[in-house]
Each structure stands twice: as C-alpha cells, then as structure tokens.
Chains A and B, each alone.
Chain A
C-alpha cells in the first residue's frame, strides 16, 4: 500500500496547496513535497524485488485488484516497482522538491495554483512509473499533460500560448497513435490475455501468442503496432525529427517547470519505450535495429549541432537533451546488459544533470533577466558559486569521470559497442561518440563567453550573488550527481537485475 499512500499523499498535498493562500503556498509546497521523498527513500531501503516486473520477476510493493470489466477484459488497479521503475520514482520525488524550491524566486503570481499544479504533476508522474496495468498507466500518462499545459501556458514566457498548445497537441496526437497501436495488439492477442496488465501482455507477446486482427496477419500487425507505439513515445523522448515541440516548450516554460520537463517528463518516453517496445517485442526491435540505431545517432549528432548553433542558454540545454536521449535509445537497442542497463542509468543521470543545468541557467536569469550568450560576460566574477556549480554541471554533461553522466554514457558505449544484434553496432557507437566532442564544444564555448572573461553586462540590473534558496538546490543536485558517479551501484545493481530478463540475442 506504500505506493497508493505515496500517490494519495501527493494528490492531497496538491489539493491543500491549491487552496492555500498565496503567501504561504511556496513554503507549504516545499514542506509537503518532502513527504513523497521520505516515502520513496523508504521504498528504496525496503526494496526486495528481483527480476523484471513485466517478465515474471518479483514485484515490490505490489497491489492488484480488478477495477472494472470490459467485455472479456479486466482492467486492474495494478501497481508495483522493480529495478527499472524504483530509481525513476526516487528521481521524481527528489527533483520535484528541488524544482519547487527553485521556483521561490521566479514565480511571483498565483503561487498556490502554480505549486498545486507542480504537486499534481508529481502525483501523476509517480503513477506513470508505478502503474503496471495499461489502463491505469495510460490514465496517469495523459494526466501528466494537463498540469504541464497550464504550467507552461500560464507562467511561461512571452510566447507561452503557442508553446503550450504545441506541446499539448504534439503529445496528445502521439498518445493517440500509441494507444491505437497498443489496442490493436490487445485485439490481436484475443483470448490469450484476460486483462490489460502489462506483465500478462508482455509475456503473451514474447510467447508469440499474437494472432491476426481485422485481416492483418500477426507479423505485419506486430511490426505496425511496434512502429505506432515507437512513434508515439518518440515524440515524448523526443527523438529527431519529432523533437520540435521541445525547444519551444523549454524556452517558454519557467525554470522549475523546465527542470521537471527535462528531468522527468522526457524519461516517461524512454521508460515507456523500454517497457513496451523493447521488453514486449524484442524480435521486432532487433529486426529494426538499423533504423532505430540510425535515428538514435542522428538525434545525438543533430541535437548537438543544433545546440551548437543557439545563442540562448536555455535552448542550448534543451537541444542537448535531444542529444542525450539519443544515447539512451542507442543503449536500449543494443540489447546488452550494459546497453539497456546503462540507458536506464542514463535516464537518472540525465535527469539530475539536465535539471542542474536548467536550474543554473534559471539562477543566472533571475538576476540578469537575460539568457542570451552575447548579452553577458564574466558572470563568474559576480556569482562565483553559481558559476562554479554551472561549470561542474557542464563537465558532468560532457561526461567527466566520477560524475553520473560519465557512468551512464560509459555503460551505454560499452554495451552498444559489444552488442551483437547487428554487425554495424560498433559503427553506430563510434558515430555517436562524436556527440561528446560537440557537447564539449558548445558547453565550453558558451561558458567561456558568459561566465569568464572581464565582467560586462549591458542592462541596468544589478548582478549579485544569488540567494541561498536558489543555490541550495543546485548544490544538492551536484552532490547527487557526484554521489551517483562515484557509487553507481546505488541504482545500477537493481537496474541490471531488472533488465537482464529482457535481453535476447545481444550478448553481454
């Protein structure tokens, strides 16, 4: 029942904050959001599962009962975590609290609604990562969009309406495509499944129980459904060329919302890809390895090139997320313990580091009111601590050893280079590695121009040290990044345990 309690407490917190007076909302939200952190840490400490939740492994904190019956299918309330989802649950709770604290400075209007929506989003995100029944999962999956739409649309920048609508429409159409693909699979499975529980469907699909549906034979149905589901999630990840909503959403969203968007919402896409496409249909995934690895490499290189061309610090970080998510896809398609495990680890690492980068940009923006690289120089002179953390975070992004980003990328490269799913995998890996060079290029270039050199700033704002509550979340994130880089086994052990049953044919 701990998962229900976790979600319920977060929902209640959202409700309380929503009706609280604006003056207290910020502090109240931060205080209440500590409760889910405690819950998730307790879950981590008491975690006792093994194997993959979808493939017959033992599920931790499981509850399962019938919610309602449709025709001959039962819809269940079925939640639980395994080694893949638990780290994401912890990431969600920690990052939400830090994002809430980082919102104290920039958010000055309608605070209670803002913080209420942040907590509401957290509750739904927790649902996404813990639900193991397709229906319950889909409800949470879509429910995440609603608060996000408002958070961008109400508190965003000058072009917020366009960005909010674009985000909403892109991701909703993607969900519809994915939904149709999945339901076609369920109809194809016919009587071999009696509910929409993901484990049941995953096992039936892996046992080749798929039959044709509506005049389409099983093999075609599976491939078409795989592509539909893949495209649906690819928008969320996002994978080039379906990424165009992301820069708009990030640039317009207020900093704390960007933190959650990059830190957790993008992971919904990769998490779902892993759970659905790569766990349920490994045969199609390995058959389509060339196109998938191809777009992964394109995302890496193209995303990095786009980041290189930006003048807006936030856009730089936003595009670099496209690049980082490309690595995750490459790791997933490798089907090796280090590839898939590394991809899962990279989700956490990227969640922390991209959150750190967005927050650092936000802290600088709070005092300078600009994010344009050309508008400022020598910021380190006035904001030494923020600049220091910014530099450390950027090095984490570039993959400095002993930081989480290094561990994630190293695992992925190790896994994908050794992969035997296709003879060209080493080539794809080698091509993707060039992404790191470009990342180093644009981050160093941007830092050199904004942080270092003689101080100059065109506007009248006084550039001074950031307040403590702005810097504290940055420091916490940096600390977590280093801790996870030094001791990746905090999560990597359970991740590997959970991904090993997925692997077929990839070798080690």
Chain B
C-alpha cells in the first residue's frame, strides 16, 4: 500500500478533523492519521446502534469513592 502524500494527509485532516496541517505535522502524522480517519468512520457507523446507551462509567463520585 502506498503512503499518502502530504497533500492527501492535509485533505484528510481538513475533512475529518477540521484541522490544517503544516508540512512538519503532515510528515510526523503520516503513519497514524489514516488509521485515525478510519477510527472516526467506524465510530460513526457504530453510533447508529448505540440507542440510549450511556457512557461507560469507570470513575466514581467524590464521597462515594470505593463503594461497590
């Protein structure tokens, strides 16, 4: 698979994340940005089946810390 060009990376960042990339950023993010774009696309697909699900709760209320 060929690596995306800087112009393609800049287009991805703009379209998916609303960000403008410098040349340094485009070069530094080359390995990760395409995967992040896919992650966001997957989230959008999965969002259709979330219904009324609340977020996972892994933190606890102050004062209730440790209650099981």
A and B together in one complex: no
B residues adjacent to A (C-beta < 8 A): none
A residues adjacent to B (C-beta < 8 A): none
